[in-house]
């Protein structure tokens, strides 16, 4: 069983048990994005978390071991995602990438937002004209080292 097969197994088990990512996350004492990314093969769990996930989703020992391994990251399998929901984030990078660069560098100087010391959050924002999705990307600023 490789990591991708485990992810499919987890999704099937979750669907069958009518569970929600957010509820599983609460059980693992992790934020929803961190738990979901772990179960979709993009983050590693601690031994205790992996075991708890296995209980909730009836996974075997091999799965418990796999969930603790650091994965080879990259969830899409394509350079440019074809799925419209995910593509919109690629589009935002294409269209607003230079804007984000300009604003971060103006505020912080030469450096980047870390994608490692990084938190992701997805939330609903009520709006009378139609509710909105708010995705928050929160990463440590890392200044370029001048030496």
76 in Cβ contact with 69 (< 8 Å): no
**91 among known catalytic residues:** yes
C-beta of 55 vs 83, nearer to a second copy: 83
**52 among known catalytic residues:** no
Instruction: Look up residue 20 and give its two tokens.
Output: 């929600």
Asked whether position 51 contacts a second copy by CB under 8 A, the answer is no
Distance CA 73, CA 89 (A): 18
Choose, by CB under 8 A, the member of 13, 37, 50, 57 that binds a second copy. Answer: 37
- Interacting residues with a second copy between 59 and 118 (CB under 8 A): 65, 69-70, 72-76, 78-108, 110-118
CB atoms within 10 A of CB 57: 19
Per-residue b/e over 132-146, b at no fewer than 16 CB within 10 Å? eeeeeeeeeeeeeee
Choose, by CB under 8 A, the member of 6, 16, 47, 67 that binds a second copy. Answer: 16
Asked whether position 146 contacts a second copy by CB under 8 A, the answer is yes
Catalytic residue set: 88, 91, 114
């Amino acid at each position: 069983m490789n990591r991708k097969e485990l992810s499919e197994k987890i999704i099937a088990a979750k669907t069958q048990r009518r569970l929600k990512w957010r509820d599983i996350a609460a059980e693992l004492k992790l934020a929803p994005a961190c738990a979901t990314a772990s179960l979709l093969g993009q983050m590693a769990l601690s031994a205790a978390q992996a075991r708890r996930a296995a209980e909730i989703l009836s996974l075997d020992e091999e799965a418990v071991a796999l969930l603790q391994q650091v994965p080879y990251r990259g969830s899409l399998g394509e350079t440019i995602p074809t799925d419209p929901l995910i593509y919109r984030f690629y589009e935002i990078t294409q269209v607003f990438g230079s804007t984000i660069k300009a604003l971060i560098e103006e505020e912080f100087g030469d450096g980047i937002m870390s994608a490692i010391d990084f938190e992701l959050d997805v939330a609903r924002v009520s709006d009378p004209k139609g509710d909105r999705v708010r995705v928050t990307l929160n990463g440590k600023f890392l200044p370029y080292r001048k030496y």
